[in-house]
Structures are given as C-alpha cells and as structure tokens.
A and B are shown apart, each in its own frame.
Chain A
Amino acid sequence: MWKIIISITMFLYFKSFAVDNHEFQLSDKKDSLNKEFPYAILGQNYGILNKDDLLENEAISKPVPFRSKKSYPFQYWQCFEVKKTTFICERGIYDKSEKDFMSMFIITIRKDMFEQKYINNKLLNYRACLEFLKEWKDYTDKEKYVCISAEFLNEEKIKTNVIWNWIFHRFKTKKGCNSFSSHECI
C-alpha cells in the first residue's frame, strides 16, 4: 500500500515537469501577441518580442503546438531572466585547418531540477565562440530579460533532473536581436 502511495507521489512530482503542467505553458492569454501567435512563445515575452519576430519563424516552418517528446523545425521563443542564464564556450580538441580548438557554446537556464540548454547546431572555433560570448554579454548587460528562439531537440532525464535541449538560432533583448549565423535576425 505504502509503495503504491510513494509511486503515485513520485509520479505526480516528476509529471509536474512535463509540458502540460509546466510554468512555460501559455497561461497569459491577455497578451495580444500570444493570441495572434498561439504556439510561438512559451511563457511571457516581457515586451521584448514583436510581430516580426514571430512572423520570421512562421516563414521557415509551419507552427505547431510545443511537445517535449518530439523534435520539430519550428522555432519557439522563450524569455528568461538574464541573471538565471549562463553562457559558456566549451573547448574541445585542436583542429589543424581551423588553427584553433573546436568548441561548442551552451546557454543554460536552470530552475530547481529542470534545465534548458541551448546549443549551436555545429562546432565552431574557440575564437568565434569567445567573440559571440562577448556579444551576448554586450546585449544582456543591464538588461533584465533575454529571449531565445530555438528548435526543440530532445528531452533528457538524468536521475531526477530533466533537461530540454534546444538548437539555438537567435536571441533578443531590448537592445536588439543577435545571432551567430546569417539570415537569423531580420
């Protein structure tokens, strides 16, 4: 009996991280952008995003409701407190043709046992990563929120931690939009 109760409790606890009950669900329907683009923003946009930001994503791929079980090319926006984000350049192995170490940039936002990680779709040389890190810092300096547009990759569960992995495309603060690749910010 106790085993059943504990199992149900654990199930409900971990289910609270699932998308259906997640705080990122669209609870604030009063925002006009949310009404016009019901799938595009997970959570609030804090006045940073505009219609063009959302139209740009729809121009690439058909919008669909977010599901953490499935990868899809439609980009979703999420906005976070800057102080809760970390941006690192993870340095790998040296590449002769690049004349530099190869690296990956990872933007992480963590809340309790739930983590979201935004990565580039390919490795870049370390110099380029550090340059982009500097741009991230410039855009987020003295800003309260930053919004990131990305495609969902997958969900990982490591012990009690849940990680959502995203393929990064661009970010935006009130200072403006920036990206690593071309053709991202309009």
Chain B
Amino acid sequence: MTKKKKITTQKRIVKKVIKKKSNSKIITLNKLNSSTAKSSEKIKTPIVKSVHPWRLCPYGEHWVRTHEMHVPPSKTHPTGYMTTRHEHCARNPSGKDQLYPDEIQEISQKKFSEIKNKPCPNDLGFKNKLVDGNQYDDLIAGWTQYWNEILQPEIPLDPNVVKALIASESRFDPKLLANKRNSDSARGLTQITNETRRILGGEKGELKDHYITLTKEDLNDPSVNICAGIRWLFRKREVASSILKKQASWEETIAEFKGTRKAKTKEDKEKIMNIYKNKLEILKKCGKL
C-alpha cells in the first residue's frame, strides 16, 4: 500500500447505523486510529443528530408506507406496469429532520393510545351529531409530548392549552376553512394557513430544522394538522420571545399564534383571547370543584 493510500484509509470514517424496528437511533461514529495522522490531516467528527424514539427512520430520512407505483414504459415493458413499493426510508431533500404525512399517521396510530398525559376529558360543550370535543385527545396528547421532547421548552406545553386552542380556532371541525372564498386561508383543527404550511416545509428558510412537509389537503387530516399546529406554536413562541425580549409564556405564545398583536384595539385583542381563555379555564378545572 502506498503512503497516499494509507492516509486515505486512516482518514476514512466508519459510520454504523443500527436500525431497530421499535427504536431507531443513530449512534456514535467511529474514527480510525488517528495517532499517526498529522495535525493538518486531523479527521473531523461530524455532529450526529438523533431522532425521537418514535421515528421510523434515522435523522435525515423519512418513512414512506407501502404503496402501489407505476413503472414508466421501457424496452422490456413498452406500456409500463404497476408494482408494489414496500415501506422504506427515503432521504430528506433538506438533509434535516422532516416529517411527512405517512409517518405522522403511522406514529399516531402505533404510539398514542398509551400516552398518559392527556388533556382534560371535557368536551367543552361540543358533543353532538357532528362534533365531539374529546375526539382528538389522544392526538393532542401524543403530539404535545413529541414536540416537548424534541424542542425541550423550560415549561413544557400543556395538552390542555392545545385543546383550548383547537376549540377556539376550529370548534373541533377538522375540515374548517377560515375563509370559504380563499383556499389558502387557515384550515383544519389548528387553522394553519397555506403560507404557514410552506414555512413548516422549510420553503421560506424561517425554520432551521424539524420541518413538516405536507400539501394543503393533508391539513384536513386531524393528526397531521395537530402535529403541524403544535410545531407552529413552538415557532410562534420563539417569535414572541424575540419581540418581548424574554421567554414568552404559553399565553403570550397563543396571542402570537392568533396574531392579536395586529388587532387595532386592546379590546379586540382581549375578545379574541377570551374565546380561548374561557375554554382553557374549563379544562384547567378538570375534575375539580
């Protein structure tokens, strides 16, 4: 082996990715013995990011469920043909952590039924033929826990805050469109606008990591919408903190989420916030006199 090849070999870094079905993590990189390497040839160890234990793929990849796909025409198959593409991990174009609807739905189906920290099981008066105020408690609990564990706020987000937010924004209507004349207006349980959807997907450069990639229609799915809504709530907390020059409380964050800062009068701000606060007050009293 030539000297050049030896150095190349020494510079090679072996990365092991151990993937288990129930617990995916990226573990440490191993570097070759660099005792013989010169200081100018020092091997840089990349920072390895871990993903939440509920995720099905390593960092930088997202899970795609089994689906049918059409193979385009070729010489051997002039008309093309249908095939089954089995579930797999696909690379994220951004290289960052990215959630897609398939994985969001899979996580919520497999992981959320046993979560303990649920919102108060009070339907807030929404209990009839079309609506059930308790219907999304598991999804609220699951995604609140997920984002609390990923983003680690000093004061964790309370699932009751999310439930009160949903009640005030959409009255638990998963397909609500804020302005029926404009399909880009706020949509679904947490009322995400099309502009917000694009920001969450990393299109605008506003978020640094933990993107969520979805279409407008995906926002009609309750699990997808709640996942995205909470992610957006955390972003609004950053914005509120920056404006206030201190760590924003969750109430200040909700005000930022609702855009009350842009209202003309203090009275208008209070009215919008009161819609939410009335609901939260009921949930906070859960089971107590």
A121-152 interface with B by 8 A CB criterion: 121-124, 128, 131
Chain B residues positioned under 8 Å from A153 (CB to CB): 271, 274-275, 278
Interface locus among B43-51, B94-102, B123-131, B145-153: B123-131
Interface locus among A3-11, A21-29, A30-38, A56-64: A56-64
Chain A residues positioned under 8 Å from B265 (CB to CB): 90
Chain B residues positioned under 8 Å from A72 (CB to CB): 125
Q: Is B169 on the interface with A (CB-CB < 8 A)?
A: yes
Q: Is B175 on the interface with A (CB-CB < 8 A)?
A: yes
B110-142 interface with A by 8 A CB criterion: 124-131
Q: Are A61 and B131 in contact (CB under 8 A)?
A: yes
Q: Are A128 and B179 in contact (CB under 8 A)?
A: yes
Report the separation of the CA atoms of residues A150 and B177 in the bound assembly, to the nearest whole angstrom.
18
Whether A60 contacts B131 in the complex (CB less than 8 A), given A121-B168, A122-B186, A181-B180, comes out as: yes
Chain B residues positioned under 8 Å from A97 (CB to CB): 193, 195
Chain A residues positioned under 8 Å from B193 (CB to CB): 97
Chain B residues positioned under 8 Å from A104 (CB to CB): 263-264, 268
Q: Are A102 and B259 in contact (CB under 8 A)?
A: yes
Q: Is A119 on the interface with B (CB-CB < 8 A)?
A: yes
Chain B residue total in the interface (Cβ 8 A): 40
Chain B residues positioned under 8 Å from A121 (CB to CB): 168-169, 272, 275
Give min CB distance, B222 to chain A, whole Å.
15
Q: Are B263 and A92 in contact (CB under 8 A)?
A: yes
Looking at chain A's contact residues, the main secondary structure is: strand
Report the separation of the CA atoms of residues A90 and B117 in the bound assembly, to the nearest whole angstrom.
41
A141-186 interface with B by 8 A CB criterion: 153-154, 165, 167, 179-183
- Chain B residues proximal to chain A, CB less than 8 Å: 124-131, 167-169, 171, 173, 175-182, 185-186, 191, 193, 195, 258-265, 268, 271-272, 274-275, 278
* A/B interface sample: 6 pairs, CB < 8 A: A61-B131, A71-B278, A73-B124, A73-B125, A98-B195, A183-B176
- Chain A residues proximal to chain B, CB less than 8 Å: 58-62, 71-74, 90-95, 97-98, 101-104, 119, 121-124, 128, 131, 153-154, 165, 167, 179-183
Given A91-B264, A122-B259, 8 additional A-B pairs, CB 8 A:
A73-B167, A92-B263, A97-B195, A122-B191, A123-B272, A153-B278, A181-B177, A182-B176
